[in-house]
């Protein structure tokens, strides 16, 4: 069965520093991986996806993610964090050919001024 | 282009009642999925609809049902509400069920069962 793990409940970063939010996955077959962000009292906003191709995927708001097949990881990164990046981040994997996303538990990112 | 819209945004119901939530996908999107978000269980898949057909269903009791109309709008219904049904219900739409298509989420309906 497909699964996703986000090993950190919370990540704290100082504004201007690089940030990394970790995600590992377990899938049978090719992985289709996604990152979403959720701000308070809002739905999920799509950041980026990995389907195939380059291992470094660029997304919205300056975020990027690195797909590593040997380590089964898909970590989210940003070179310089902003206070406005503080939110809840979810990694997800698509389950087979259906439009079902399996989400990780989420990682709360706190960027301090 | 307008995003995914969900109505109502907030709802308070009593145990035993039923509720219907509505979702209008992004124009041109034909696939709609529903998710339940709770602090304890996180984000869980409820069901997926495409061309008015349910393609997949998550591990929820039969009290949870849904449908999709010819204009791609979708509704989900929960009958005989229980306290544990209190959650944020999120609808997501995509162009089609294909693997390369990302899903776009609405703001959700916050259901509180008392």
Subunit contact B103:A99, Cβ cutoff 8 A: yes
Subunit contact A100:B45, Cβ cutoff 8 A: yes
- Length of chain B in residues, anyone? 114
- For residue B48, list chain A residues with Cβ-Cβ distance below 8 A: 98-100
pLDDT (tens digit per residue) in A69-92: 999 999 999 999 999 999 999 999
Cβ–Cβ < 8 Å for B62, B43? no
- Average pLDDT (B65-94) is 97
Shortest alpha-carbon distance between residue A71 and chain B (Å): 22
Inter-chain contacts counted by CB atoms under 8 A, chains A and B: 64
Which pLDDT score, from 0 to 100, does residue A2 have?
A: 86
- For residue A106, list chain B residues with Cβ-Cβ distance below 8 A: 42-43
- Report in angstroms the alpha-carbon separations of B92 from A53, B70, B113: 25, 17, 23
Dihedral sign for Cα atoms in the order B16, B108, A58, A76? negative
Cβ burial B25-54 (10 Å sphere, 16+ → b, else e): bbeebbbbbbbbbeeeeebbbbbbbbeeee
What's the CA gap between B7 and B11, in Å, rounded?
Answer: 9
- Average pLDDT (A82-111) is 92
């Amino acid at each position: 069965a497909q699964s996703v793990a986000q090993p950190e409940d919370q990540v704290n970063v100082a504004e201007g520093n690089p940030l990394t939010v970790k995600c590992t996955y377990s899938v049978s077959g090719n992985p289709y991986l996604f990152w979403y962000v959720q701000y308070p009292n809002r739905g999920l906003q799509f950041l980026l996806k990995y389907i195939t191709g380059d291992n470094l995927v660029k997304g919205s708001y300056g975020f990027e993610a690195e797909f590593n097949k040997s380590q089964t990881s898909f970590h989210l990164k940003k070179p310089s964090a902003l206070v406005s990046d503080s939110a809840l981040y979810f990694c997800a994997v698509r389950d087979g050919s259906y439009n079902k996303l399996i989400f990780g538990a989420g990682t709360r990112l706190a960027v301090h001024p | 282009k307008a995003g995914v819209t969900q109505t109502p945004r907030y709802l308070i119901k009593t145990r035993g009642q039923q509720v219907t939530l509505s979702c209008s996908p992004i124009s041109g999107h034909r696939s709609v999925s529903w998710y339940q978000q709770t602090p304890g269980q996180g984000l869980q898949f409820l069901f997926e609809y495409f061309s008015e057909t349910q393609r997949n269903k998550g591990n929820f009791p039969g009290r949870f049902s849904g449908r999709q109309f010819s204009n791609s709008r979708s509704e989900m219904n929960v009958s005989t509400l229980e306290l544990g049904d209190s959650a944020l219900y999120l609808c997501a739409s995509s162009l089609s069920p294909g693997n390369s298509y990302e899903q776009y989420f609405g703001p959700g309906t916050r259901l509180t069962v008392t």
